Amino acid sequence: MVRTILAAFLCGGAIASAAQSTMVTTPGSASAGQRAKALDELKPPTKDDLLRGAYGPFRANNDLLSYKLQLRVDPVAKSLHGSNTVRFRMLEDGTRIQLDLTKELQVESVTMEGKPVKVTRDERGLFLDAPEPMRKGKVYEMKVVYGGHPVTQGRFGCFSFDKDKDGKPWITTACEEEGASTWWPNKDQWKDEPQEGMEFNIQVPDGLMDVSNGRFEGSRDLGDGYTEWRWRVHYPINSYDVALNIGNYVHWSGGKHGGTTLDYYALPQDLDKAKAQFQQVPTMLDAFEHYFGEYPFVKDGYKLVEVPYAGMEHQSAVAYGNHFENGYYGRDWTGVGISKRFDFIIIHESGHEWFGNAVSAADKCDMWIHEGWTTYLELLYVEYRWGKDDMQKYADGVRAKVHNARAIIPPCGVNAEPPQDQYFKGALMIHTLRTLVGDDQKWFADLHDFYQHFKYQQITTQDVVAWWSTRTGMDLQPFFDEYLRYAALPVLELKFGKDEVSYRWKAEDAKFAMPVAVGSAGKWTTVQPVVGSWKTMPWSGEASSFAVDTEHYFVNVEKEPAK
């Protein structure tokens, strides 16, 4: 997200100024520093977090097949009304399933085959009891009719009724953190996505357009002042990726990139700037397809949609609000002279189509699979465009953003938010893994196959560890654990004696034994320190001239002066 969220650190302080330049009203947002500090604190879970985060028995007893979302959105009343039909297969006999919908929205009815379903609400949990037992292996549908006034919240508003500079309605969604159940009823977790996709029938006032995920299937005038816009998603989709973008949009086609259709949407006043800036899309696709293979949602096409916030990786309808400037809101946010060569939001948020949308984490605790990998895709993009040296320079700029305040992976099953280190530390861990592989030809083959192996799946950190351990022939459990499950970086301790240097790792994982290059740049010696025990190598130079290759290994170094 931009996570995605932007990158969790990036978005906070810039959102208000970004939004104010394009619309009349804007939700408040924390400063970047406040946002970063908040992410570095692990907050105790609320009851709502526990209900939403747990993959409990009434989630686990069924497998999502599809959603059909039908909504009428009223910009004047700031309300919505409609239904979601949930199609699922029972994995065991039962009478109850769990969906989610925030208490601010009212459930009018739930039916199954025309018969009423009993509804019990607890926080945002909807516990739905079927009128008769549901049998293992059988497919069922429940239709939830609901409505009300969604509450604007979070840095992007989640569901926001805004206006553009011409005073026309501009309504958007961006609910990765707050949860999709703030505006529509669904199985609001990450482990189970609707494997057959999703349909949208979105009714908006005449003169406005809805741009949602998937393939456009047509629109029709309803004759009552509203027009219905129909979209169809042909792939599994995470609930937080589901998006409405309602406004006075102008659409134009970018043609095709291979088999992928390119479609762009912007407000009329921004059309010329958008047409110029969005020309970066084909090169972005060239880069990521070079490393990972074909764009993952060819049947749905690729869309880039102007929004009043920084950006978001909404599947096949990537949200864009970066002011049509390179860098991040026009600034070189890595500070090394590389960032302003490209539009950060186009590259990062589109990168999530591969990691986050096609390859997804099964639990929010493993969100680094989205953010760490997509931040690493930024490095790959730079390398594809400008070479390995500039990629390394970009990586050096990312390093300064790591906090090491708490472990990247928080408790699972409780809707816990990972820290911002999931972006930058996660990417540099992957960069270090490339160094451990030691052969770029093999590394790029491994990258491609890793993505292809897990495409359209929801996975865990352990899935990642097992795959890479098998592929490389190395036991990488201590490596991943040290970077993901502990706050501090591993430290290479050095102690100098007469004509020798002693070395060992200071690390939380007692089995951490990563090899590392030391000595002199250009004449590196690879050693394999361990935790606790000193090893020794010859060294006749000064302690100050003994180097560690911290460009390619993301570690800290502590030198004890010679006695």
Using a pLDDT cut of 70, give the percent of the chain over it: 93
Write down the pLDDT at residue 35. 57
Above 50 in pLDDT, residue 6? no
Instruction: Report how far residue 40's alpha carbon sits from residue 418's, in angstroms, rounded to the nearest whole number.
Output: 8
Write down the pLDDT at residue 40. 78
pLDDT digits (tens, 9 = 90+) for 197-233: 999 999 999 999 999 999 999 999 999 999 999 999 9
Tell me if 312 sits within 8 A of 349, measured CB to CB: yes
Query: How much is the mean pLDDT over the chain?
Result: 93
Q: Residue 295 corresponds to which tokens in the numbers above?
A: 């764009």
Write down the pLDDT at residue 136. 98
φ and ψ at residue 95, rounded to 5 degrees: -120, -10
Instruction: Report how far residue 495's alpha carbon sits from residue 430's, in angstroms, rounded to the nearest whole number.
Output: 29
pLDDT digits (tens, 9 = 90+) for 429-455: 999 999 999 999 999 999 999 999 999
Q: What is the mean pLDDT of residues 255-278?
A: 98
Above 80 in pLDDT, residue 38? no
Q: What is the mean pLDDT of residues 105-114?
A: 97
Above 80 in pLDDT, residue 31? no
Instruction: Report how far residue 115's alpha carbon sits from residue 118's, in angstroms, rounded to the nearest whole number.
Output: 10
Q: What is the mean pLDDT of residues 117-145?
A: 98
Contacts of residue 456, Cβ cutoff 8 Å, sequence gap at least 6: 235, 236, 296, 358
Q: What is the mean pLDDT of residues 33-58?
A: 84
Write down the pLDDT at residue 541. 87
CATH of 491-560, one of 2.60.40, 1.10.3470, 1.25.40, 3.40.1130: 2.60.40
The residue with tokens 């939004």 is: 19
Helices (H) and strands (E) in the chain, counts: 13, 29
Above 70 in pLDDT, residue 10? no
pLDDT digits (tens, 9 = 90+) for 481-536: 999 999 999 999 999 999 999 999 999 999 999 999 999 988 999 999 999 999 99
Write down the pLDDT at residue 71. 98
Above 60 in pLDDT, residue 309? yes
To the nearest 10 degrees (0 to 180), the angle between helices 421-437 and 440-454 is 130
Residue 32 binned pLDDT confidence (cut-offs 50, 70, 90): low
Q: What is the 3-state secondary structure (H, E, C) of 321-332?
A: CCCCCCEECCEC
Instruction: Report how far residue 261's alpha carbon sits from residue 496's, in angstroms, rounded to the nearest whole number.
Output: 61
Amino acid at 433: L
Helix boundaries (H) for 85-199: none
Amino acid at 493: E
Q: What is Dmax (Cα atoms) for the chain?
A: 90
The residue with tokens 């604190």 is: 41
The residue with tokens 């969100």 is: 367
For the residues of 432-452, what is the DSSP string, one character each? HHHHHH--HHHHHHHHHHHHH
Instruction: Report how far residue 408's alpha carbon sits from residue 366's, in angstroms, rounded to the nearest whole number.
Output: 8
Above 90 in pLDDT, residue 414? yes
Of the listed ranges 98-107, 182-191, 248-257, 537-546, the one predicted with least confidence: 537-546
The residue with tokens 């926001």 is: 160
The residue with tokens 């002011």 is: 323
Provide the b/e sequence for 513-547 (b: ≥16 CB within 10 Å): ebebbbbeeeeeeebebbbeeeeeeebeeeeeebe
Of the listed ranges 19-23, 160-164, 394-398, the one predicted with least confidence: 19-23
Above 70 in pLDDT, residue 87? yes
The residue with tokens 């240097």 is: 501
Return the number of other C-beta atoms located less than 10 Å from residue 51's C-beta: 20
Residue 23 binned pLDDT confidence (cut-offs 50, 70, 90): very low
Q: What DSSP element (H or E) covers 272? A: helix 271-277
Write down the pLDDT at residue 155. 87
Write down the pLDDT at residue 41. 85
Q: For residue 391, give the nearest of 407, 378, 410 by alpha carbon.
A: 378
| Half-sphere exposure (Cβ direction) of 193: Cα atoms closer than 13 Å | 29
Cα 332–chain centre separation: 22
Helix boundaries (H) for 361-489: 368-386, 388-399, 421-437, 440-454, 461-472, 477-484
Residue 33 binned pLDDT confidence (cut-offs 50, 70, 90): low
